[in-house]
Every structure is written in C-alpha cells, then in structure tokens.
C-alpha cells in the first residue's frame, strides 16, 4: 500500500488590512530576499495571481453604497479569510484540482484574490474571500457563519475532500477519538519553518535564513497550479 496523499485545505481569519497587504506582497513575490527560500525558483514562471486585495474594498463599498447590508459589519470583524489549498504531494492533475477547489470555494464566499505558487516545495493556492452570506435580498458579513468552531471546520474539510479531493483520488485525513491523537493541520508559520529547515539541510539556504523566513511569512502552506483558475 502506497503512502497516502491527502487533500489539504487550511483556513484562517486575517485581522486587518496591513496584514492582508503583507500577504499580497508574499503572493506576488515582492518580499525582499524571496529567492533565498524558493525551493524551485525555476518554476516561478508557472505562478499565477488573479485579482487584488483592492477588490475587497470595491466589493465592500459597492454593497454599502447600495445599502444591501442586512446588518452593518462589526468594526472588529476579520478583514477577510485566507484559504490555502494543496495536497501532501504534487499530482499530475494539479491545475484541474486547483480549479475544482476554487470553484467549490466560490460557492461559499466572495473570492477576490488568489495566487497559485509552484516555486515552493509543494504547489499550493492562497485564496482570499469575504465571508458574505446572502439573506433574502441583502448580505450578512459573518466569519463565524463561514468557519464556525473547530467541529464546523472539520465538517468543512470533510466536505472539501468529499466534493473535490476524492474526485482526484486524494485521501482524507483520519480522525481519532482522543484529542491528543487527532490529526492536526500544520499552521502557516510552522509550515514555513519546516520548509526553510528542509532547504537548509539541502544546502539551498544559508543557516541564518530560517528565522528570517519565519518572520517574513506566516503565510505558507501547500499547493497550487494556475491553469484554468478564474475569479
């Protein structure tokens, strides 16, 4: 029996616009020293970006001007939600997998910016959405309605595997009864740190670089392909 190849989807709240703009710089490869931690720089030409963080403001302004909020978004609401989509290992249909994942996500939230990265160890997609829910003729801004609590997020991951990952013969992470044994998804900063340590071990990055990498990006995860992706 071969090693499992899991369908992976992470989600997190982005608290403010400053953080969001930093993430966009990462997605567009505008962070200084980016070449030092790219594990596959020769594939940078395959990277794809669509949309912009500025689209977020256009959408919010449009809804506000038309008075289409069922309830005005709270001041402490998350700026947006970031999803990172990937697999444990690259598959031959990576582009189609990413396309299906993006189409699935667009049914759940308002997608306004995405980036597909192929120049890292594992291709992955960063997708940024507004947690907007239609209520009758108006909209509600609710991150909780999209992500909910831990169990809700597990259900979202299960649905993603069933409707997307399974189609591409990817595996679903197994859940166990005891919390200490529960399969955990790697956080972004942890993922970035592991990537950098692997690069150091391979002699691709100077020894001092992992700490710098971890500061620069709390935003890395898994997989993507640009082919066929649409906003």
pLDDT in tens, 22-39: 999 999 999 888 777 688
Within 10 A of 76 (CB to CB), how many other CB atoms are there? 6
- What does each C-alpha distance from 44 to 4, 28, 155, 220 come to in angstroms? 27, 11, 34, 15
Q: What is the pLDDT of residues 79-129, one digit of tens each?
A: 999 999 999 999 999 999 999 999 999 999 999 999 999 999 899 999 999
* Distance, CA of 141 to CA of 144 (rounded, Å): 9
Q: How many helical (H) and strand (E) elements, i.e. helices and strands, does the chain have?
A: 7, 7
* Distance, CA of 183 to CA of 174 (rounded, Å): 7
* Distance, CA of 66 to CA of 75 (rounded, Å): 19
pLDDT above 90 covers what percent of the chain?
A: 65
- What does each C-alpha distance from 51 to 64, 76, 82 come to in angstroms? 21, 25, 14
Structure tokens belonging to residue 178: 């005891």
Q: Report the pLDDT value the prediction gives residue 223, as an integer from 0 to 100.
A: 36
Domains and their CATH numbers in the chain: 7-184 (3.30.930.30)
């Amino acid at each position: 029996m071969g090693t499992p190849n899991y369908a992976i989807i992470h989600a997190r709240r982005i608290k403010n616009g400053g953080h969001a703009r930093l993430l966009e710089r990462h997605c567009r490869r505008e962070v200084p020293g980016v070449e030092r931690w790219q594990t596959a720089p020769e594939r940078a030409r395959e990277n794809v970006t669509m949309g912009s963080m500025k689209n977020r403001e256009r959408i919010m302004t449009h809804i506000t001007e038309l008075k289409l909020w069922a309830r005005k978004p709270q001041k402490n609401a998350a700026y947006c939600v970031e999803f990172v989509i990937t697999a444990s290992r690259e598959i031959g249909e990576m582009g189609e997998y990413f396309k299906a994942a993006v189409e699935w996500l667009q049914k759940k939230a308002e997608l306004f910016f995405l980036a597909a990265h192929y120049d890292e160890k594992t291709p992955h997609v960063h997708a940024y959405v507004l947690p907007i829910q239609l209520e009758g003729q108006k909209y509600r801004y609710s991150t909780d309605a999209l992500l909910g609590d831990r169990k809700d997020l597990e259900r979202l991951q299960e649905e993603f595997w069933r409707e997307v990952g399974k189609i591409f013969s990817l595996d679903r992470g197994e859940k166990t009864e005891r919390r200490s044994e529960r399969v955990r998804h790697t956080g972004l900063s942890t993922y970035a740190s592991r990537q950098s340590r692997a690069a150091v071990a391979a002699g691709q990055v100077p020894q001092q670089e992992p700490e710098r990498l971890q500061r620069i990006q709390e935003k890395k995860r898994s997989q993507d392909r640009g082919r066929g992706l649409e906003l």
